[in-house]
Amino acid sequence: MSSGALSEDEVRHVATLARLALDDAEITALTPQLAAILSYAEQVGEVAADDVEPMTHPLGLIDVYRDDVRTPGLSADDVLAAAPDPQVGRFGVPRIVEEGA
């Protein structure tokens, strides 16, 4: 596309590339809108940002992780003591699958 005025043929071409089925009325309506969008994109490209360091985030980020410290956990007996239906060292749950399924 040229940097000047945008033609309806160029909009048709872009629509074809995007696999959009647009009629003539839609092409006519979208031509000035797409031209305005491209104009705004050109303005962004004109910003003098040579002195701005590239970044992935506008704020300085730091890790807020804590040290990984090993602490004792609960024993299986302590955990199963709070279970509603402990069965032979495991949690008892209702059967949800029918036999033979």
pLDDT digits over 50-81, tens only? 787 877 888 877 877 888 899 999 998 899 98
Given pLDDT bands bounded at 50, 70 and 90, which one contains residue 3?
low
Report pLDDT for 1.
Answer: 46
Report pLDDT for 27.
Answer: 95
Rounded to whole angstroms, the Cα distance separating 29 from 12 reads 12
For the chain, domain boundaries: 8-45
**So what's the architecture of 8-45 in CATH?**
Orthogonal Bundle (1.10)
Question: What DSSP designation does 87 have?
Answer: E
pTM of the model: 0.45
Say if CB 89 and CB 81 are below 8 A apart: no
Residues 6 or more apart whose Cβ sits within 8 Å of residue 27? 8, 11, 12, 15
Rounded to whole angstroms, the Cα distance separating 46 from 3 reads 13
